[in-house]
Amino acid sequence: MWEFFKKEVLKNMSFEKLFFGTAGVPRSTKASTSTAGIERVRELGLDCMELEFVQGVRMREKGAGAVLETAERENIALSVHAPYYINLNSPEEEKLKASMERIYQAARIGSLCGAKSIVLHAAFYQKSSKPATYENVSTALRELTEQLRGEGIPAVLRPETMGKRSQFGTLEEVLALSEEIEGVMPCLDFSHMHAREGKENSYPEFTAILSKVENALGKEGLANMHMHVSGIEYGGNGEKRHLPLKESDFNYPDLLKALKEFEVRGRVICESPILEEDALLLKKTYSEI
């Protein structure tokens, strides 16, 4: 399954370099629309933008067509963040079905925008064991990827590494899902990984993470990375809130050094409160290494 996915899907998603962009419409955009945001991303000299469907998939087919046209004209790569209201480990059948429908709609509309990567917060452990939670998430994602494939929707579902210990989404969990399920790849949020345990914030630790990705997914995995970066505040239970990069202890220069060392390609999406300022800081720092 993984070999087929590498040959038939990843070969059409590989990036020639590392792209930098914003999680949503840049703050300096005059209008709050996705099309205006894409145009502003290009004006700023950035390369990509994540469409934030986090409060729900409210975009319709006509709007998606306009987004696709704008992104192609401006040569901006798009991805999607699915709604926050998702728990693939919910014991309530109605909530589980609603979660799966939200992911499906994010993928369906996202694909019409030209976005193939669909980022999602997969689940909470709640009262379940970690192995049981993993099985529930795996079952749901298998069903979703089969549905998307059956309908010809060219979307890759990307469970994100999460910053709170109550949330499903360790590096090991998302890599295991990516190894096992055709149509699943990781979204590595390096700030979340740092916040979760207060570690993962040095060059050796960043290179260890990338080595795990390569061991699990091969060179193709490193050529199709989707990453989130921001400053972050955290405590005993993990993530508290995002911060501007220079107002936190997150060691972004060493992360960027590791990404260059491993010749990582794909997208770095900045989730800082000062979106485009920090996205530009990341791109400038990377170019100077």
The answer on pLDDT for 131 being more than 60 is yes
The answer on pLDDT for 234 being more than 70 is yes
Given this model, what pLDDT does residue 31 score?
94
Strands 18-23 and 266-270: parallel
The answer on pLDDT for 243 being more than 80 is yes
Nearest by Cα to 214 from 225, 200, 203: 225
For all residues of the chain together, what is the average pLDDT? 95
Nearest by Cα to 253 from 225, 285, 288: 285
Specify the 3-state DSSP secondary structure of 266.
strand
Given this model, what pLDDT does residue 188 score?
98
Given this model, what pLDDT does residue 93 score?
96
Provide the CATH number for the domain formed by 14-288 in this structure. 3.20.20.150
Q: 206 CB contacts (<8 Å, ≥6 apart)?
A: 190, 200, 254, 255, 257, 258, 259
Q: 4-57, pLDDT tens digit by residue?
A: 444 445 555 557 899 999 999 999 999 999 999 999 999 999 999 999 999 999
pLDDT over 90, % of the chain: 94
Specify the 3-state DSSP secondary structure of 161.
coil
Query: What is the domain partition of the chain in residue ranges?
Result: 14-288
Specify the 3-state DSSP secondary structure of 115.
coil
Structure tokens at 152: 């010809």
Given this model, what pLDDT does residue 12 score?
54
Which CB contacts under 8 angstroms, 24+ apart, belong to 10-17? 10/220, 10/223, 10/224, 12/154, 13/116, 13/117, 13/156, 13/224, 14/220, 14/223, 14/224, 14/265, 15/77, 15/223, 15/224, 15/265, 15/266, 15/267, 16/265, 17/265
Structure tokens at 189: 């949020």
Given this model, what pLDDT does residue 16 score?
82
**Residue 1 — pLDDT band, cuts 50, 70, 90?**
very low
- The phi and psi torsions of 134 (rounded to 5 degrees) equal -55, -45
Specify the 3-state DSSP secondary structure of 200.
coil
Q: Annotate 22-91 with DSSP letters as a single string.
A: EESS-TT-SS-SHHHHHHHHHHHT--EEEEE-TT-----HHHHHHHHHHHHHHT-EEEEE--S---TT-S
Q: What share of the chain is helix, strand, coil (3-state, %, to 5)?
A: 50, 20, 30
For residue 105, which amino acid is it?
A: Q
**C-alpha distances in Å from residue 272, one per residue of 1, 128, 227, 269:** 36, 32, 13, 9
Angle of the 171-180 helix axis to the 130-150 helix axis, nearest 10 = 40
Is residue 105 within 8 A of residue 148, CB to CB? The reply is no
pTM equals 0.94
Distance of alpha carbon 257 from alpha carbon 252, whole angstroms? 9
Over residues 180-205, the mean pLDDT reads: 97
Given this model, what pLDDT does residue 4 score?
45
